[in-house]
Amino acid sequence: MKKALANILAHLFGLLVLIAVLIGALDACMLFVGFVIGGSGAAHLALWGKKLLDYAIKIAALGVLFGLLNFYIGGQHELTLKNDNLDSPELPEAKKAR
């Protein structure tokens, strides 16, 4: 149950962040087109792009929330100080320090 919920949260995180990034790319294209056409059409595109970015920020924040819940429910914290991989090769500096 816990693993299935963590899997669902990971997929929601990925999907929502992907949507937010794609909205940002669409907005960048709109701003470029507005820069090329100029005038009131550019102003209209820029204002519409601002509305899109407001939605993208909310979607990305929701995605980050799902990502954090995934870390805590799944028990995986990426930024830890302990080394779980004991078979990893040591750096030469670490061997000299012993």
Q: Give the span between the Cα atoms of 48 and 27, in whole angstroms.
A: 9
Average the pLDDT over 57-85 and give the result: 81
**Per-domain residue ranges of the chain:** 2-74
At which residue do the structure tokens 């816990």 appear? 2
7-51 tens-digit pLDDT? 899 999 999 999 999 999 999 999 999 999 988 999 999 999 999
pTM over 0.75: no
Tell me: pLDDT of 54 over 70.
yes
Alpha helices by DSSP H, the chain:
2-37, 39-74, 92-97
Are residues 96 and 46 in contact, defined by beta-carbon separation less than 8 angstroms? no
